[in-house]
Structure 1
Amino acid sequence: MDDYLKLFVEETSWYNNIVLGMFLPEKWWDPLPHFYRGWLRNYIGGNLLYLLSGFMWCFYIYYLKHDIYVPQDAIPSKRAMLLQIGVSMKAMPWYCALPAISEYMVEHGWTKCFSRISDVGWAAYLVYLVVYLVVVEFGVYWMHRELHDIKPLYKYLHATHHIYNKQNTISPFAGLALHPLDGILQAVPHVIALFIVPMHFTTHIALLFIEGIWTANIHDCIHGKLWPVMGAGYHTIHHTTYRHNYGHYTIWMDWMFGTLRDPLNDEAKKM
């Protein structure tokens, strides 16, 4: 392994030491090969991120501020939320395999990742970041749309997520309540983009972290009204119509491909 690739290994090892060292005795994880340490770190970190963000957000919007954000009759039942947690927990070990595999490919020089922003300069870094996000947005849109359009994929994979199809059944915990293969397929564009666009590795890891928080946010049914963000107002419509708002972070792909439905227009029609 050349010296440059060792920078990626050093970075992932640092992440491993922080997370695993905080929660497990060193003798439990130190003998593990590097790849399995990465998977275990992702598993511990993924569970913590999912549960903490979900519980904190649910407590805030359903109990502290329910009179502001969510009507009482629209609050999901505890049973619905526990079912979503159960589905997510079963899928989490499989979800965590994808970033472990992507890190392996980065560490072996198979991708276009670079370790330091100084390697390309800030201007190029920002351009690459924008192109990376566009590639991810395009990939997630079409992957999500095909999970609806291809009937066997919907029936055997994506339908698991769409049993939560009303405001009083959708909660932040529903964000990761998918069939494991469904969740992996929707995250694959993040990895494919690494082979297409030069990407700062640390930023890629940070975006995966943000992804976990984002999935909780877009399932809280609260329309943030922050154009052009594909927030929860849009995603709630997706859960009720099944044919609109497949996008990820923004509305652009739905706008380009004719599947956008604006929650503000829906509200205006009800008035």
Structure 2
Amino acid sequence: MADEYLQQFTDVSTMFNQVILGHLLPTSLWGTLPHVMQTWLRIYLPGVLLYFVSGFLWCFVIYYWKRGVYVPQDAIPTNKAMLLQIGVGMKALPIYSALPTLSEYLVENGWTRCYARVSEVGWPLYILHVFLYLTVLEIGIYWMHRLMHEIKPLYEYLHLTHHIYNKQHTISPWAGLAIHPGDGLLEATPHIITILIVPTHFLTHIGLMLFEAIWAMNIHDCIDAKMWPLMGAGFHTIHHTTYRHNYGHYTVWMDWMLGTLLDPAEEKGKKVA
């Protein structure tokens, strides 16, 4: 019975593999690969497409079509800076894709607390599980990110790759994935830890893993959309310029509780003064 239940997860993953890879590649190139390799390829190829399509559209709007509207002209990164960020991201993306692949492997083998359908728990419990998932994830990523700064070897050998972009005119949406592969894996590890301890709807987990890439690009566009209590680009840009504030992921609540929050309004007031 347990094997039959777990087969549901494998069937869902297989369906995604067939639909997505079937539209991107000839079956002869992926059809004979082991299931786990098909899953990795299904995550990696759309990841590349999402990165380039959303990145180009994002940059076209804020740097060319609406030039000077959302970002001051003197804060627009150079094409050279953006190309360097793309290069770093492309080198790391194959390794990034291994972590969501691992998470699906763990789910399919029954090592997590994922469930297949919302109807198994009902909508009230499902909503509670999503809240718990995001809460545990926020705590985990906050501390992983903060330790990347406070443990010197981790910063020098891993996180510094991302923090060479430390001024507004060097940060762009492309910088969202311009991270050392080891750094990216460590900071995303809380996603796996969370599904080991929190009951989680499988498709919701997959969706949130995909959303990570979009969120990473959003918080690096330097546009202060005044998204409090969300950790928008206004807060995250400060993180890149001070190195010791705003470690949070989706929200500011961990920074607020632990005294590492610096509000963009406060920072702007200091500069004016």
Report if TM-score (shorter chain) is over 0.5: yes
Match of residue 65 from structure 2: 64
- AA paired with 1:162? H
- AA paired with 1:142? W
Match of residue 31 from structure 2: 30
Q: Equivalents in 1 of 2:239, 2:135: separation in Å?
A: 21
Q: After TM superposition, list the pairs within 5 Å mapping 1:56-205 onto structure 2.
A: 56-205=57-206
- AA paired with 1:233? G
Q: Equivalents in 1 of 2:210, 2:268: separation in Å?
A: 33
> What are the superposed Cα offsets for residues 180-218 of structure 1, whole Å, 9 maximum, x if unpaired?
010011111011100110000100111111111000000
Q: Equivalents in 2 of 1:227, 1:242: separation in Å?
A: 20
Q: Equivalents in 1 of 2:210, 2:95: separation in Å?
A: 16
- AA paired with 1:216? M
Off by >4 Å, runs of 4+ in structure 1: none
Q: Equivalents in 2 of 1:82, 1:41: separation in Å?
A: 25
Q: Which runs of 5+ in 1 are unaligned?
A: none
Match of residue 18 from structure 2: 17
Match of residue 209 from structure 2: 208
> What are the superposed Cα offsets for residues 72-123 of structure 1, whole Å, 9 maximum, x if unpaired?
1111000000000000000011001111111010000000000000000000
Match of residue 230 from structure 1: 231
Match of residue 243 from structure 1: 244
Task: Tell me how far 1:26 sits from its aligned partner.
Answer: 0.5
Q: Equivalents in 1 of 2:36, 2:72: separation in Å?
A: 46
Task: Tell me how far 1:23 sits from its aligned partner.
Answer: 1.0
- AA paired with 1:204? H
Q: Equivalents in 1 of 2:191, 2:252: separation in Å?
A: 18
Q: Equivalents in 2 of 1:210, 1:101: separation in Å?
A: 17
> What are the superposed Cα offsets for residues 142-174 of structure 1, whole Å, 9 maximum, x if unpaired?
000000000000000000000000010000000
SS for the counterpart of 1:67 is coil
- AA paired with 2:92? A
State which drifts further: 13-22 or 153-162. 13-22
State which drifts further: 41-50 or 194-203. 41-50
SS for the counterpart of 1:168 is helix
Q: Which runs of 5+ in 2 are unaligned?
A: none
- AA paired with 1:112? R
Q: Equivalents in 1 of 2:93, 2:216: separation in Å?
A: 14
Q: Equivalents in 2 of 1:14, 1:193: separation in Å?
A: 25
> What are the superposed Cα offsets for residues 241-260 of structure 1, whole Å, 9 maximum, x if unpaired?
00000000000000011100
- AA paired with 2:136? V
Tell me the number of residue pairs that the alignment of Structure 1 and Structure 2 aligns: 271
SS for the counterpart of 1:146 is helix
Q: State the superposition RMSD in angstroms.
A: 0.8
Task: Tell me how far 1:269 sits from its aligned partner.
Answer: 2.6
SS for the counterpart of 2:200 is coil
TM (norm. structure 1) is 0.98
Task: Tell me how far 1:13 sits from its aligned partner.
Answer: 0.9
- AA paired with 2:23? M
Pairing 1:43–2:44 present: yes
Taking only the aligned residue pairs, the percentage that are identical comes to: 62
State which drifts further: 190-199 or 43-52. 43-52
TM (norm. structure 2) is 0.98
- AA paired with 2:91? K
